[in-house]
Chain A
């Protein structure tokens, strides 16, 4: 390599991050941590953008975004908060889309309750039933749908213990304090020790779909990295990753719905 070549190479090396390496700041619902990490690895392989992520509850992110938090993209755990932000003109119009649909599972860490199935609920033999707070957590709302669909709400209400988020709900069951409870399929899939016996996937007709929406926030509308990231999320490759973590995609749902 001649000296001028080397010079151009070094120059290029300095300029490159400026040309390609913009930063996108993403707020991510905590139920999506595992797939998100996987997605970031793939995203980084494909381009030079920097991506910085914050994980937390969607309600908190909503409050923060409303009060000027510097996020470019928001992957919410539900649809409602993104819709509210849309009504408040805090997202870029037309960028809202469903990136994942959660799958609700009934799970027990207690061998006496395995194999897990809906009969456990209808028999009402458990002491404590864990679910996420239906008021604030989409998986909790879905769990409540299931309980209502099975007409168990009066019988079981006294036995409910509510986690403030789905991770906490998982903890209640994992520690054995609740014998059984509703969690996200994505959570139980991450834990190798869970056997097929310990998990029961709730039939979709028993609850309204858990739609997790994402959007480009107003702050990120001119951020190329943000746009690239959103496009990347919708790519087939990422769709496959998301599904491998126990989520569905809208097109699959509509397919399954058309079958019914």
Chain B
């Protein structure tokens, strides 16, 4: 396969972006998922809707508003400027923030479902066995909901890799910074470089297939975990 250096750069950048975003999403998505799974607050619907919004919003809408919000006159832009970070569009971290927002529901929902499936009981049991809240999370929630967390990670990663519309809006096509695979493919197609577009596209097709395959495998695992949990109860 004769991929150019630019192509390899795009692949490397995409993997770096997706890994960073996945890590951040697991860290911030877990408490949100936890709260959504456990709360009886009247805010639940509101927050759920907010988190799920990227599911139905066209990426161009998100990208357009992020471009304005992160720009020098936007709220986020003014904040980042006052913190001495400059403005975020056209930077790697700008893409990270956009992708975190964009992929949030893909991470929150599987974790939320997995936590809901665990129910309250195993946590109460752990508390009666002297496990602190922190301990309970790592010794009970995490292992039981592991397939849910892995599904979330794969989905978050894959969805970030597949992101295009937002990157187009706020990326600026900067090599090693914002020129990810999907943009590179777009450029190849626009430049009539179909062979290279094919190579990269084929990689994406294979990647997507295996990502989804692993998700369905994981889901079967979670289901069997839940069934064994229920059978006991």
Chains A and B share a contact (CB less than 8 Å): yes
Which positions in A face B, CB cutoff 8 Å? 57-60, 62-63, 81, 84, 127-128, 130, 133, 135-137, 160-164, 168, 171-172, 175-178
Q: A160-B174, A162-B173, A168-B168 are in contact. Are A177 and B89 (CB under 8 A)?
A: yes
Contact B67 A127 (CB under 8 A): no
Please, how many angstroms separate the alpha-carbon atoms of A162 and B170 in the complex?
Answer: 10
Which positions in B face A, CB cutoff 8 Å? 64, 67-68, 70-74, 77, 86-87, 89-90, 168-170, 172-174, 183, 186-187, 189-192, 194
In the complex, chain B residues whose CB is within 8 Å of the CB of A59: 189-192
Please, how many angstroms separate the alpha-carbon atoms of A162 and B186 in the complex?
Answer: 13
Please, how many angstroms separate the alpha-carbon atoms of A35 and B88 in the complex?
Answer: 35
Contact B169 A168 (CB under 8 A): yes
Contact B169 A161 (CB under 8 A): no
Ordered by A's residue number, 15 sampled pairs between the chains whose C-beta atoms are within 8 Å are: A57-B190, A58-B190, A59-B189, A135-B187, A136-B187, A160-B172, A162-B172, A162-B174, A164-B173, A171-B64, A176-B72, A177-B67, A177-B87, A177-B90, A178-B90
Contact B68 A164 (CB under 8 A): no
Contact A62 B67 (CB under 8 A): no
In the complex, chain B residues whose CB is within 8 Å of the CB of A58: 190
State the majority secondary structure of interface residues on A. Answer: mixed
In the complex, chain B residues whose CB is within 8 Å of the CB of A168: 168-169
In the complex, chain B residues whose CB is within 8 Å of the CB of A161: 89-90, 172-174
A47 to chain B, nearest CB (A): 35
Closest 4 CB pairs of A and B: A161-B172, A59-B190, A136-B190, A162-B173
In the complex, chain B residues whose CB is within 8 Å of the CB of A137: 190
Please, how many angstroms separate the alpha-carbon atoms of A223 and B19 in the complex?
Answer: 54
Q: Which residue of A lies closest to B172 (CB)?
A: A161
Contact A62 B90 (CB under 8 A): no
Please, how many angstroms separate the alpha-carbon atoms of A130 and B186 in the complex?
Answer: 19
Q: A163-B172, A168-B168 are in contact. Are A176 and B189 (CB under 8 A)?
A: no
Please, how many angstroms separate the alpha-carbon atoms of A175 and B94 in the complex?
Answer: 15
- Find A62's partner among B68, B73, B174, B192 (CB 8 Å cutoff): B192
A164 to chain B, nearest CB (A): 6
Q: Which residue of A lies closest to B68 (CB)?
A: A175
In the complex, chain A residues whose CB is within 8 Å of the CB of B189: 59-60, 63
- Find A60's partner among B67, B168, B172, B190 (CB 8 Å cutoff): B190
